[in-house]
Amino acid sequence: MLGNFIKSGDFKGEKHVPVIVAPEKVKANEWFEVEVSVGKEIPHPNTIEHHIAWIDLYAIPEGANFIQHIGRFEFVPELSEPFVKTKIKLEKSCRLIALSYCNIHGLWENDLEISVE
């Protein structure tokens, strides 16, 4: 049911889509940086009336029947931008999923496949 309310799109044409920047290939159990932002190509408003409230980052490991919640990053309108850089490590290949919440336009998602060697 929640999936019915999550929107997606091309971040170059839609300012709400979270953008994930990370290496396509990483080594097992070694830390690497992941950057997630909203408004990379088209700036998103950052006012009290219209802003990105938070970004969640998830991983779905290859062959897993569950999702791992990596973290939630909350933003204060006018004082912080919807941008986060964090370090993670993976045991096996997975799909990273970023979910962002706009206080007016709801939930937006994007994903990125990461191969683990």
Specify the pTM.
0.91
51 is an active site residue:
no
44 is an active site residue:
yes
3-class state of residue 3 by DSSP: helix
Question: Tens digits of per-residue pLDDT, 15-53?
Answer: 899 999 999 999 999 999 999 999 988 899 999 999 999
50 is an active site residue:
yes
Q: DSSP label at 43?
A: P
Active site residue: 44, 51, 94, 109, which one? 44
* Burial of 2: CB neighbours in 10 Å, binned 0-12, 13-18, 19+: exposed
Q: Which domains does the chain have, with CATH numbers?
A: 2-116 (2.60.40.730)
CA angle, corner 2, sides to 60 and 66, nearest 5? 25
